[in-house]
A and B are shown apart, each in its own frame.
Chain A
């Protein structure tokens, strides 16, 4: 196995070939914010929060899908990147209807954590207050599209780990939304196994267990990674 040497934020590191920049950074104690990334499922490079500067590359590269290479000089937290990350978080808050005070995920929300991390206490861009619906037709779960950030973790977790592919993405641009089945009410989708993996994967309060009250929603993200490792390595206890 080959090892690559590179520097992240000026610190030289040695790391196995094939590792992503994000993994390399995390293994070496460097924090890069992410939203669409989730351990155990594939990466899509969609949220753009993990963009980093790499010497020799004119464009910013997403750390989650960029593999390490010999001699890379990576900067993960420059002023420009900080500015872009804050604007991305603002764009997300302005795009949906994110009212933390009445959200089941308040205090356990990755979007909220990101806002705190990038120092966003209000959006400089106007809030759009879109009209979005809530689907509570499923017996045990519900989805509030107002809180959806379209990270597609639910889509990938259902497809790649549960193998049911209940979730998908429909429409485009501002009208983009995640849908169940062929845009049926969730409760009407026979393919749904009610496993709850989408609930565990959701970074915000968008997909929730029914009966959760405000600020009560906790998720077991390790469960998803555990299932993947268990299948791969045939180890079924934790």
Chain B
């Protein structure tokens, strides 16, 4: 495979594509509300209408408005239909014939709604547009050309430098500078090195990584290959949890296709660069998202974390230097190579560059996937894009999953970036964003997350294993109205201790939902205490 052959595939694909397309989202969200059936009926209907030569029904990835699935988009007249049901199929085909929006049945979505207009797709640029199961469609939108460019026109150091200058930070949540991580692994002595894509997304309410994997799997493969070239690795792993069967299937398909075209394997693009990717399916343990536990799991061991240092960059998979990045981090790479570091660095804020994908869920009108530039105010996301809550008022937003915390409504003018969120006692996390209304009890929320952490603790270190159980019990006691002020003090003490002494990130951040709700909604805890008026008097500190 050389560049001409690649461009030939792209050109052929562009010519092959029928002039009119009907796109059906068949990613997990829409699939769960019957998208496959809608797609089949559309195909049948198009055939019956004798349009199958000019109109193509395509299976595509996420079209973002997940709360309103199944979603169907038709090119002409450029309409996105929501909550399509089987009996609306005829109306959609009729509308297509008459070149206008369907008059009855199917409801089109307003493309001028801030939910769409405030988005800035980089990671999701192909999502919902291309068929994730056809490599040709990815190539037709410029895919794998960045890999070619990197291999033939850039030295590994230049690639690392480009990523460093872009200012990209780890999208898994920690926000560690990606370029620095790459440079560290690249500088390790030559020899066996590995690249790992962490696709073990497990936060309650989060589905960003799943959507990217289901909608544009080749993007991850290209991103990983570029990383492998930059650091001198020849072998990669994608660690994805078994709860994502569609993502796994599409990744497998993508890998097969890439191999078939010689874009994976030995001598890629007729260069000395070799690279292959294996998929490792995790059984679904939250702790396996922690890098040292993830590597243990890939090696076939029990997914327990170990103390760092040594960091994976020095001693990772089978003691070799290993680069671990999140799905979204890799998904940014092809765009950075294509458009350049300066372009990427011009988006976002001074210390948080680029965009971030969030899964907007909870008590909010518009549920779905959004990709917004860093620095956007939370208020824009919740009120404009999300459309606020159906009943009552917005009370808080939870970000960062079990490692994060709640941001109260009066702080919604805060820009969304790594450091500002940490100052509020929460974190970016991988991108879950759960909206809560005034009916939500924040103590309930804290208990929910503690129950999650209690169940997901691997049990290796005592503070996390036993501390989360104690914290859960104390929260239950408070919710039952059986606790006193002493229990609340005890809870805070144990929170501080678990945070400071746990071995890995899971334990160190497990108390965050409790601490953050205590910080902003302390009165809710105090109201639940026995003899609460007295408690309130004592605890006004």
> Are A91 and B461 touching (Cβ within 8 A)?
no
Expressed in whole angstroms, the minimum distance between the Cβ of A196 and any Cβ of chain B is 25
> Residues of A contacting B258 with CB < 8 Å?
none
Q: A46-B462, A60-B500, A149-B462 are in contact. List 11 more A-B contacts (CB 8 A).
A: A45-B307, A46-B460, A88-B501, A91-B462, A94-B470, A125-B490, A172-B458, A173-B456, A173-B458, A174-B469, A175-B459
Q: Pick 11 A–B contacts, CB within 8 A, sort by A.
A: A46-B462, A48-B503, A62-B503, A83-B497, A84-B497, A91-B466, A91-B470, A94-B470, A126-B473, A174-B454, A176-B459
> Residues of B contacting A91 with CB < 8 Å?
462-463, 466-467, 470
Mask: chain B, 439-468; 1 = CB below 8 Å from A; 0 = not: 000000000000000111111111101111
Q: Is B379 an interface residue (CB 8 A)?
A: no
> Are A48 and B456 touching (Cβ within 8 A)?
no
Expressed in whole angstroms, the minimum distance between the Cβ of A170 and any Cβ of chain B is 9
A124–B489 alpha-carbon span in the complex (Å): 12
User: Contacts A92-B462, A125-B470: A172 and B500 contacting too (C-beta < 8 A)?
Assistant: no
> Residues of B contacting A176 with CB < 8 Å?
458-459, 465
> Are B493 and A173 touching (Cβ within 8 A)?
no
Residue of A nearest to B455 (CB): A173
**Which residues of A from 34 to 92 have beta carbons under 8 Å from B?**
44-48, 51, 59-60, 62, 65-66, 80, 83-84, 87-88, 91-92
User: Contacts A88-B463, A94-B470: A51 and B458 contacting too (C-beta < 8 A)?
Assistant: no
Partner of B460, one of A44, A60, A149, A171: A44
> Residues of A contacting B500 with CB < 8 Å?
59-60, 80, 84
Residue of A nearest to B458 (CB): A172
> Are B501 and A45 touching (Cβ within 8 A)?
no
A62–B465 alpha-carbon span in the complex (Å): 17
Residue among B458, B460, B473 with most chain A CB within 10 A:
B460
Partner of A46, one of B461, B469, B494: B461
Q: Is A150 an interface residue (CB 8 A)?
A: yes
Q: Is A182 an interface residue (CB 8 A)?
A: no
> Are A173 and B454 touching (Cβ within 8 A)?
yes
> Residues of A contacting B501 with CB < 8 Å?
48, 51, 60, 84, 88
Expressed in whole angstroms, the minimum distance between the Cβ of A78 and any Cβ of chain B is 12
A150–B465 alpha-carbon span in the complex (Å): 10
Q: Is B502 an interface residue (CB 8 A)?
A: yes
> Residues of B contacting A13 with CB < 8 Å?
none
Expressed in whole angstroms, the minimum distance between the Cβ of B27 and any Cβ of chain A is 30
Expressed in whole angstroms, the minimum distance between the Cβ of A235 and any Cβ of chain B is 30
Q: Is B285 an interface residue (CB 8 A)?
A: yes
A60–B468 alpha-carbon span in the complex (Å): 19
> Residues of B contacting A26 with CB < 8 Å?
none
Size of the chain A interface, CB-CB below 8 angstroms: 34
> Are A65 and B458 touching (Cβ within 8 A)?
no
A176–B306 alpha-carbon span in the complex (Å): 17
Q: Is A128 an interface residue (CB 8 A)?
A: yes
Residue of A nearest to B467 (CB): A91
The 9 A-B pairs with the shortest beta carbon distances in the complex, nearest first, are: A176-B459, A91-B466, A45-B307, A173-B457, A95-B466, A48-B501, A87-B497, A172-B459, A46-B460
Q: Is A14 an interface residue (CB 8 A)?
A: no
**Which residues of A from 83 to 117 have beta carbons under 8 Å from B?**
83-84, 87-88, 91-92, 94-95
A119–B490 alpha-carbon span in the complex (Å): 18
Q: Is A134 an interface residue (CB 8 A)?
A: no
> Are A48 and B463 touching (Cβ within 8 A)?
yes
Q: Is B302 an interface residue (CB 8 A)?
A: yes
> Residues of B contacting A87 with CB < 8 Å?
493-494, 497
A51–B460 alpha-carbon span in the complex (Å): 15
A94–B463 alpha-carbon span in the complex (Å): 12
> Are A128 and B490 touching (Cβ within 8 A)?
no
> Residues of B contacting A66 with CB < 8 Å?
307
**Which residues of A from 139 to 196 have beta carbons under 8 Å from B?**
149-150, 168-169, 171-176
Residue of B nearest to A45 (CB): B307
Expressed in whole angstroms, the minimum distance between the Cβ of A76 and any Cβ of chain B is 15
Residue of B nearest to A85 (CB): B501
Expressed in whole angstroms, the minimum distance between the Cβ of B295 and any Cβ of chain A is 15
Expressed in whole angstroms, the minimum distance between the Cβ of B404 and any Cβ of chain A is 19
Expressed in whole angstroms, the minimum distance between the Cβ of B520 and any Cβ of chain A is 24
Partner of A172, one of B306, B307, B456, B466: B456
Residue of A nearest to B460 (CB): A46
**Which residues of B from 284 to 307 have beta carbons under 8 Å from A?**
285, 287, 302, 304, 306-307
